[in-house]
Structure 1
Amino acid sequence: MGKIVYSMHVSLDGYIEDAEGGIGFSVPADDVHQAANEQTEAAAVLLFGRRLFEMMEGPWAEIAAKEDVSEVEAEFARVYFATPRIVFSDTLRCVPEGVRLVRSADAVDEVKRLKREVPGTLEIGGAQLAASMVDLVDEFRLVVFPVILGGGKPYFPPAPVGLRLIEHRAFPSGTVLLRYERA
């Protein structure tokens, strides 16, 4: 049985994007990036909403094609493209090799099936997708950056969820990893 983990980079006040849709506040230091590499390598599958998929796929394909990138970025590109990816979208018509497209109407049923059939961690990313699946999420994983945005797209769905802290880790950069499971 799989475990659904909703994982995103967030500001201290809980936003995954600033008011203009930017994520520049969450560029990780190498130690935070290495933790993300390890998390991605441990994932059985990556589940994306369309917007997050587009923010990840194109830029990481460009980085993977370059020779003059840092070791930690090259490693992330390698593990990212080695991990099966599913994007949930009604607007995308095609996806690159290694990615499976699932229509939104089938999203909940598909994630339930994956949770039953795929052992390991199923990483879900994208606030809208995660909000539609909040009842299926087993763990909420936040990588909190030391910045207050004052608005933008919130990480948490607009529904109450009782949580229990299972891990916290501070990085020298001031970024903090928080892991919560359902209470």
Structure 2
Amino acid sequence: MAAHRKLAFAMNVSLDGYTTTHGDDLGWSVPSDEVFQWWSDRVAATGTALYGRKIWENMSSHWPTADQQPGATAAHVEFAKRWRGMPKVVFSSTTRPVDWNTRLVTGDAVAEIRRLKAEDGRPIDMCGATLAATAMRHGLIDEYAIITHPVLVGGGTPFFTALDNWVNLSLVETRTFAGGITLTRYETRR
């Protein structure tokens, strides 16, 4: 198999497996300083981030100017700068326009993700459960990074989608953060 950029799907998840609640509420997943730093370091190491429409709208409504807001912490300033500088791709047929080192893809997401993976470069992170569901069904995800929060939200957008076939995974990292938040990282066994 030819070398390729690793594609990871990484998100905050409730203990019952949801990335957002009904109504797209994310209030349960506000990260501690320690978890926020983990996310910031991940952004710094990411070559390209792939976003679905909903998470793009959420991120782009805050991070472009978060470092200029009154009371912005040093960690928020650092994250905002890293986020703006990181190359981003938004997959949407309705979102217009995009900015902040971002380009829009309105066509075939699977073909574009395959093309990006075939390029040389640093790893790719995917954000957004709907976009990730498409990539999962096509066997494109190489790693799952799950930040599990100790809360049951009862429904919403699931982290994992229904699949036609099993996907065997190998555990490569576990970490516990304050407040009972855990990181588990799995790589896809091919």
Query: Measured at CA, do residues 118 and 58 of structure 1 come closer, stay the same or move farther in structure 2, by a change above 3 Å?
Result: farther
| Equivalent in the alignment of 1:176 | 182
| Equivalent in the alignment of 1:151 | 155
**Which has the larger displacement, 2-11 or 65-74?**
65-74
Superposition pairs of residues 7-46 of structure 1, within 5 angstroms? 7-46=10-49
| Paired residue secondary structure (1:173) | helix
Aligned residues: 182
Q: Which amino acid is 1:146 matched to?
A: P
Confirm or deny: 8 A CA contact 1:44 1:118 kept in the other structure.
Answer: no
Runs of 4+ with deviation above 6 angstroms: none
Confirm or deny: 8 A CA contact 2:146 2:183 kept in the other structure.
Answer: yes
Confirm or deny: 8 A CA contact 1:2 1:121 kept in the other structure.
Answer: yes
| Equivalent in the alignment of 1:116 | 118
Q: Which amino acid is 1:116 matched to?
A: A
Q: 2:88 aligns with which of 85, 90, 97?
A: 85
Residue 60 of structure 1: CA displacement? 1.1
Where does the alignment leave 5 or more consecutive residues of structure 1 unmatched? none
* Structure with the higher fraction of residues in strand conformation: 1
Confirm or deny: 8 A CA contact 1:52 1:126 kept in the other structure.
Answer: yes
Residue 67 of structure 1: CA displacement? 4.6
Q: 2:173 aligns with which of 144, 167, 171?
A: 167
Confirm or deny: 8 A CA contact 1:144 1:176 kept in the other structure.
Answer: yes
Please give the alpha-carbon distance, in whole angstroms, between the structure 1 residues aligned to 2:133 and 2:178: 31
Q: Which amino acid is 1:171 matched to?
A: F
Residue 65 of structure 1: CA displacement? 2.3
Confirm or deny: 8 A CA contact 1:7 1:123 kept in the other structure.
Answer: yes
Q: Which amino acid is 2:174 matched to?
A: H
| Paired residue secondary structure (1:2) | coil
| Equivalent in the alignment of 1:128 | 130
Superposition pairs of residues 132-143 of structure 1, within 5 angstroms? 132-134=134-136, 135-143=139-147
* Structure with the higher fraction of residues in helix conformation: 1
Confirm or deny: 8 A CA contact 2:85 2:100 kept in the other structure.
Answer: no
| Paired residue secondary structure (1:76) | helix
Q: Which amino acid is 1:140 matched to?
A: Y
Residue 150 of structure 1: CA displacement? 1.4
Residue 151 of structure 1: CA displacement? 1.0
Where does the alignment leave 5 or more consecutive residues of structure 2 unmatched? none
| Paired residue secondary structure (1:158) | coil
Please give the alpha-carbon distance, in whole angstroms, between the structure 2 residues aligned to 1:117 and 1:22: 35
| Paired residue secondary structure (1:156) | coil
Please give the alpha-carbon distance, in whole angstroms, between the structure 1 residues aligned to 2:67 and 2:52: 22
Confirm or deny: 8 A CA contact 2:174 2:183 kept in the other structure.
Answer: yes
Q: Which amino acid is 2:180 matched to?
A: G
